[in-house]
Amino acid sequence: MGQSKKKANRRTSNWSELCPDLLGCVFKRLSFMAFNRAISVCSSWHSASRHCVPIRNQMPWLILFPSNEESNNNNNIVFFVPDDEDKVYRCRHAGVDFVQSRCLRTCGSWLLILSPFWDLYILNPLTGERIDLPDTRKFRRQYDRACFLIDSKTKDYLVVIIIQPTTSVSLFTKKGDTKGYKSTLLGPYKDFVYNPKKKKLYIHETYGHIDIWDLSEDDPRKDGHLDSFRFNHSDFPSWFNEELYWDKLYDYRTRIVLTVSGDVLIVASIVTRCNTWQFRIYNYKPNHVMDYKWVKLDSLGDEALIYDMGVTVVANGIPGIKRNSIYFSGVDHGTKDPHNIFVYDLTTQKMEPLPQCVFSSLRFSDARWFFP
């Protein structure tokens, strides 16, 4: 009889009562995705995980934001993890209206969010942690683009906002600034990217050249420029029939990108009227007479390009991320259309669509790749 009771007690033992030290030993060996699943099992597991550092994630995730047509809950967002091709994960955050808000940029596991009241804040969609930024309501309805950098440990951040091209003013703020935003007058621009190691901001001007701004001191100062980039339509394979090329062309764009080593790239893209995309990549290199010019690259090598973030990442031998590819989510061109969300293989020059389950899970208004 005693033996039966002991067996029954073993069978009814509660997993939430496992020793925290034992849980910690297990958590340290889990992949990033498995770690986040485990800590959501119960409050005691979540508590035991606070002193554990999961294995660093090395693959991009896609986050989908709900549209006004989504009837379930305005706070639901959806994650797609490339390792889990047939699954998506829903997440809910109380107090965050993702339907009315807008994601301006991603950085690591953080999102720069513009609220329906025109407040800016930085949000970690996995943990719910939020960092409110200085008041920007006096610039209401004027945001055009932004980029930011944040240290996940110290929470030090730098945010750069550029007002609409008609005003051509940039705003800078970082952790500890008590006077709000510093402003600098710029010329008309297309795009920009920030190099955190050199503390340089590269701004692609409308007229083609790239201005370099030094943000290492309190007041930004101009620090040179790169020569103009001119869009070369003849670099695209469909150019062989010029008349047909222009007839099918719907739009063309450029984006400035920073590589792992700190090189500045220009990504040129075209899209046809039937939603076919093509990309070309250019690096700023010296020629035989040591004059610098933009040179077309045939490959990114062992790196992948996260178009949304304007950076490349190491991708060699890492499950869930494909080297020499571009992760694209329709930024600047129809983020509601599943045809504009894909992985582009630069080797085959083909678009690789995502699994259908990604888009059937939610009626979405926007999508972003990010690195949790």
With a cut of 60, say whether residue 292 has pLDDT above it.
yes
Higher-confidence residue of 37 and 10: namely 37
The CA-atom distances, in angstroms, between 137 and each of 115, 143, 173, 207 are 11, 10, 15, 30
* Highest mean pLDDT (candidates 26-30, 132-136, 142-146, 241-245): 241-245
Higher-confidence residue of 184 and 277: namely 277
Mean pLDDT, rounded, for 362-366: 83
The CA-atom distances, in angstroms, between 94 and each of 98, 125, 143 are 10, 11, 25
Question: Please, what's the b/e burial string for 337-359 (b: 16 or more CB within 10 A of its CB; e: otherwise)?
Answer: ebebbbbbebeeeebeebeeebb
With a cut of 70, say whether residue 185 has pLDDT above it.
no
Mean pLDDT, rounded, for 213-224: 86
The C-alpha atoms of residue 12 and residue 14 are separated, in whole angstroms, by 6
Q: What local confidence, expressed as pLDDT, does residue 195 receive?
A: 92
With a cut of 90, say whether residue 265 has pLDDT above it.
yes
Mean pLDDT, rounded, for 264-274: 94
The CA-atom distances, in angstroms, between 354 and each of 49, 84, 327 are 32, 11, 11
Structure tokens at 271: 């899209």
Q: What local confidence, expressed as pLDDT, does residue 94 receive?
A: 62
Q: What local confidence, expressed as pLDDT, does residue 294 receive?
A: 92
The CA-atom distances, in angstroms, between 359 and each of 247, 311, 365 are 30, 25, 11
Model confidence at 112, in pLDDT bands (50, 70, 90)?
very high
Average pLDDT, the chain: 82
Q: What local confidence, expressed as pLDDT, does residue 98 receive?
A: 86
Higher-confidence residue of 145 and 11: namely 145
With a cut of 60, say whether residue 254 has pLDDT above it.
yes
CATH code of the domain made up of 57-370: 2.130.10
Model confidence at 272, in pLDDT bands (50, 70, 90)?
very high
The CA-atom distances, in angstroms, between 1 and each of 4, 6, 174 are 5, 9, 68
With a cut of 60, say whether residue 371 has pLDDT above it.
yes
Tell the burial category of 199 from Cβ atoms under 10 Å away from its Cβ (0-12, 13-18, 19+).
middle
Q: What local confidence, expressed as pLDDT, does residue 257 receive?
A: 95
The model carries a pTM of 0.83
Tell the burial category of 148 from Cβ atoms under 10 Å away from its Cβ (0-12, 13-18, 19+).
buried
Is residue 108 classed as helix, strand or coil in its secondary structure?
coil
Q: What percent of the chain has pLDDT over 90?
A: 29
Say which DSSP state 55 is in.
Answer: P
Q: What local confidence, expressed as pLDDT, does residue 53 receive?
A: 64
The C-alpha atoms of residue 255 and residue 68 are separated, in whole angstroms, by 29
The CA-atom distances, in angstroms, between 6 and each of 3, 16, 99 are 5, 19, 53
Q: What local confidence, expressed as pLDDT, does residue 39 receive?
A: 72
Model confidence at 247, in pLDDT bands (50, 70, 90)?
very high
Candidates 195, 141, 145, 140; CA nearest to 165 is 145
Model confidence at 131, in pLDDT bands (50, 70, 90)?
very high
Q: What local confidence, expressed as pLDDT, does residue 20 receive?
A: 77
Q: Compute φ and ψ for 302, nearest 5 degrees.
A: -95, 25
Say which DSSP state 137 is in.
Answer: G
Structure tokens at 268: 């040129």
With a cut of 90, say whether residue 302 has pLDDT above it.
yes
Sign of CA dihedral 193, 158, 305, 99: negative
* CB neighbour list of residue 178: distance below 8 Å, 6 or more residues apart: none
Candidates 15, 70, 105, 165; CA nearest to 309 is 105
Q: What local confidence, expressed as pLDDT, does residue 303 receive?
A: 96
With a cut of 70, say whether residue 7 has pLDDT above it.
no
